[in-house]
Chain A
Amino acid sequence: EAFGTSYHHTSLHHTAEMFSCVFLSIVQMEDVIARMQDEKNGIPIRTVKSFLSKIPSVFSGNSPTSVLYTLRFQAVEALHLGTLMAAHGYFFPISDHVLTLKDDGTFYRFQTPYFWPSNCWEPENTDYAVYLCKRTMQNKARLELADYEAESLARLQRAFARKWEFIFMQAEAQAKVDKKRDKIERKILDSQERAFWDVHRPVPGCVNTTEVDIKKSSRMKNPHKTRKSVYGLQNDIRSHSPTHTPAPEAKQPTEEELREQIKFGQAQLDRHRLKMSKVAESLLSYTEQYSDYDPFLCTPDPSNPWISDDTTFWEMEASKEPGQTRVRRWGFGINEVLKDPIGREQFLKFLESEFSSENLRFWLAVQELKKRPIREVPTRVQEIWEEFLAPGAPSAINVDSKSYGKTTQNVKDPGRYAFEDAQEHIYKLMKSDSYSRFIRSSAYQELLQAKKKGKSLISKRLPAVVLSC
């Protein structure tokens, strides 16, 4: 029975584990295909009368989408999924090499499970040569080679010149067997075989769905398995079933690895975990706070340069005078001030006016140090130490004794992260002290109130966005 009503309904993971080259997507698709082939609720298959002959075992193009719809897929998804399944060769148009699904009355046929992608076929050119050669022997109008197939055959004849006799013999043997088959059965099997090759040797210009990302293909396990021939040696095409090798077992960890795992596990267990409710609240408030600044949710002010062809937005960002929206963002947190060059400038200016800029200057110096080439690091570390931390330093900063002790040690063997502990302490100080003073300062408030020349001060919400009240 060509495409069988029985199929193995294994679980997703079991199958994927067994057939290591099979992606979960293939397994999921075949699960849906199986349901589409269900006798009771699946696609109705019938034989259609046409002129003097019958077209066996077909369904019309609008059937897949309607069945997918009853399987609870949304309408748009159904067509997309149907097209994807056609591209992978699970069903095919009977009169076209191009594997696509049209939601109309054209006829399609299911592919036999033998040729399904889950069997991990990577057919060799010798198989393709046997197939094309066989087609030329069968002398039927419907089996005539398309131009690109004729070109492929010519190329293969040159490439396999020395073993052409063998290929010819295989083709002849298959053609002989085919002749003995029932006419209707032949029609079905020929079309399925052709559809298989349409997947693995697609029409030029069509997407080859068997192409694998090179990152994955270099990882494919069991390479020997994928070299099997579609036709086998001397075996009948329909009776030969492919074998599968299970994926290799995971290695048992060594004693050292176990000790590492335990050490890591202990550290994990000891870590403080924040309650989910707090985390959820923080995510929600972050996204709400930044929604005004997200061009995919709110129209930027004055406009999105990509849409309006007006680059004013970028010019304003680059100018020395910060706009009100930009200044408002500095109020979200110290990180916003520190990552905006104009913000840093204004923050520094404010602190200098209060004669308390040493913390920020230290923080900026350490950030800059971390980007320096390694050969400049020792000198720079010394300079920073002298300026901010050494006894009698001109811009002395106040660091806790623990960090001070560690830093003193680090400076003796200076690396990029010599001041990490001190910098973290200073950051916390700035966050709680200098930053809050800056945001409350008249200097900042003035920038915030400054009216932009004739532009709206309120960013426009796109009508589609609905956030919580």
Chain B
Amino acid sequence: MGEMEQLRKEAESLKDEITAARKAVQDLTLQDHVAGTAVVGRVQLKTRKTLRGHLSKIYAVHWGDSKLCVSASQDGKLIVWDSYTTNKVHAIPLKSSWVMTCSYAPSGNMVACGGLDNMCSIYNLKGKDGNVKVMRELAAHTGYLSCCRFLNDNEIITSSGDCTCVLWDIETGSQKTVFAGHLGDCMSLGVAPDFNTFISGACDFTAKLWDIRDGQCRQTFGGHESDINAIGFFPNGNAVITGSDDASCKLYDLRSDQELITYQDSGIMCGVTSLAPSLSGRLILAGYDDFNCNIWDSLKAERVGVLSGHDNRVSCIGVTPDGMACCTGSWDSFLKIWN
């Protein structure tokens, strides 16, 4: 038997052994365990604010704190909103209008964005003269920038259409770590509550957990039948939620190393574009291509609410750190605040 053939056989048998090991801990499914728990009652959220100002499709939104958020649109603008008053705090013109992602630094001092320009541009909001300027342009990706998330004012993680994720040092503009391993475009990333790890979802239908410190891929989760467009941590940091073009969302647990449950419905035929858990994790809000946002009971896997109000695809969604409100952004150019 040739060496390649031997290696292939070994890799295959390992896959089977891992599947068996995962099965071995399935003493009970999540459904069985929560059989005695009632479904959360109907959740009816209303639009409290509509943020108007973008002139084209909104591609991304990210909360900075309980009131401030940043949004990115194909009209070539990044807008920082005081969502409570609906005032625009900053309207930042971009060099490239093909923006796909934006992020607010936890400190509130910076925002970042990127897209078809393959770069992540960092903007300083607290400059001396009050003007918002480009602080750094992080260039090295060979594909579009699909997502970016600040760890702190000095570090940011990006995901790209070049199938890699990168940890950058903002001050020097250099790549500190490259996380390679996905076999398809990376579409989305989420940072763990303890900032030690992050997860990425890609067009190879898998989600990967990465160790930020040593650059290693710790775990890989499969099961989706199409691109994973959205990903996020369950608030306890021990589980991961994914949303895919296969019209379903899935919950994977890190400690049992496998899928716990799938959120899908025969009546939903459109891809999931975005997702966010509520503060307790009991609810998962997911945006879809069919202009709606569905609210799922995360434990019972039943739909308990719908947010309908957008006239085009819901492209992005986020829940404030204090859990008080949810923001949806849409191709109809509006952002809506719900609770």
Chain A 39-73 per-residue mask, 1 if CB under 8 angstroms from chain B, else 0: 00000000000000000000000000000000011
A255 on the interface (CB 8 Å rule)? Answer: yes
Contact present for B322 and A317 (CB under 8 Å) = yes
Which 10 A-B pairs give the minimum distances between C-beta atoms? A464-B41, A265-B14, A290-B280, A280-B33, A294-B280, A77-B267, A371-B152, A274-B255, A277-B28, A468-B37
A323 on the interface (CB 8 Å rule)? Answer: no
Which of the residues B44, B144, B267, B280 comes within 8 Å of A293, measured between beta carbons?
Answer: B280
Q: Which of B1-18 contact A (CB under 8 A)?
A: 3-4, 7-8, 10-11, 14-15, 17-18
| Bound CA–CA A269/B24 (angstroms) | 12
Q: Which of A1-56 contact B (CB under 8 A)?
A: 12-13, 16, 23-25, 28-29, 32
Contact present for B270 and A290 (CB under 8 Å) = no
| Bound CA–CA A318/B195 (angstroms) | 24
On chain A, the residues within 8 Å of B239 by CB distance are 283
On chain A, the residues within 8 Å of B324 by CB distance are 295, 300, 304-306, 313
Query: Number of residue pairs across A and B with beta carbons under 8 Å?
Result: 257
| Bound CA–CA A361/B33 (angstroms) | 41
Which of the residues A24, A262, A375, A420 comes within 8 Å of B7, measured between beta carbons?
Answer: A262
Which of A211-219, A224-232, A240-248, A396-404 contacts the other chain? Answer: A211-219
On chain A, the residues within 8 Å of B131 by CB distance are none
Contact present for A374 and B213 (CB under 8 Å) = no
A266 on the interface (CB 8 Å rule)? Answer: yes
Contact present for A266 and B299 (CB under 8 Å) = no
Q: Which residue of A lies closest to B281 (CB)?
A: A287
Contact present for B116 and A218 (CB under 8 Å) = yes
B290 on the interface (CB 8 Å rule)? Answer: yes
Tally chain B residues at the interface, Cβ within 8 Å: 108
Beyond A72-B266, A286-B281, whether A215 also contacts B187 by CB under 8 A is yes
- Write the nearest CB–CB distance from B37 to chain A, whole angstroms: 4
- Write the nearest CB–CB distance from B262 to chain A, whole angstroms: 14
Main secondary structure of the interface of A (DSSP, over half): helix
- Write the nearest CB–CB distance from A221 to chain B, whole angstroms: 11
18 A-B pairs in the complex with CB atoms less than 8 angstroms apart: A13-B225, A24-B245, A29-B269, A84-B270, A262-B11, A265-B14, A268-B257, A273-B257, A273-B258, A275-B256, A287-B299, A297-B40, A297-B280, A305-B84, A317-B322, A374-B172, A464-B41, A466-B38
Chain A 107-144 per-residue mask, 1 if CB under 8 angstroms from chain B, else 0: 00000000000000000000000000000000000000
Interface residues of chain A, those whose CB is within 8 Å of chain B, are 12-13, 16, 23-25, 28-29, 32, 72-74, 77-78, 80-81, 84, 207, 211, 213-216, 218-219, 255, 258-259, 261-262, 264-266, 268-269, 271, 273-284, 286-287, 289-291, 293-297, 300, 304-307, 311, 313-314, 317, 335, 370-375, 417, 420, 462-468
Which of the residues A297, A371, A375 comes within 8 Å of B282, measured between beta carbons?
Answer: A297
Contact present for B25 and A28 (CB under 8 Å) = no
Given contacts A282-B238, A317-B322, 9 further A-B contacts (CB under 8 A): A12-B225, A29-B269, A211-B331, A255-B7, A277-B33, A286-B235, A295-B322, A306-B325, A468-B36
Considering residues B25, B26, B115, which has the most beta carbons from chain A within 10 angstroms of its beta carbon? Answer: B25
| Bound CA–CA A294/B280 (angstroms) | 6
Q: Which residue of B lies closest to A265 (CB)?
A: B14
Q: Which residue of B lies closest to A207 (CB)?
A: B312
| Bound CA–CA A283/B44 (angstroms) | 24
Beyond A25-B245, A255-B4, whether A290 also contacts B235 by CB under 8 A is yes
Beyond A276-B256, A276-B260, A304-B324, whether A219 also contacts B37 by CB under 8 A is no
| Bound CA–CA A215/B28 (angstroms) | 39
Beyond A214-B98, A284-B34, A296-B283, whether A306 also contacts B153 by CB under 8 A is no
Q: Which residue of B lies closest to A258 (CB)?
A: B7
B292 on the interface (CB 8 Å rule)? Answer: yes
Contact present for B41 and A466 (CB under 8 Å) = yes
- Write the nearest CB–CB distance from B186 to chain A, whole angstroms: 10
- Write the nearest CB–CB distance from A13 to chain B, whole angstroms: 7
Considering residues B213, B280, B281, B337, which has the most beta carbons from chain A within 10 angstroms of its beta carbon? Answer: B280
| Bound CA–CA A80/B266 (angstroms) | 13
Q: Which residue of A lies closest to B268 (CB)?
A: A77
On chain A, the residues within 8 Å of B36 by CB distance are 468
| Bound CA–CA A291/B283 (angstroms) | 10
- Write the nearest CB–CB distance from A267 to chain B, whole angstroms: 8
Contact present for A264 and B270 (CB under 8 Å) = no
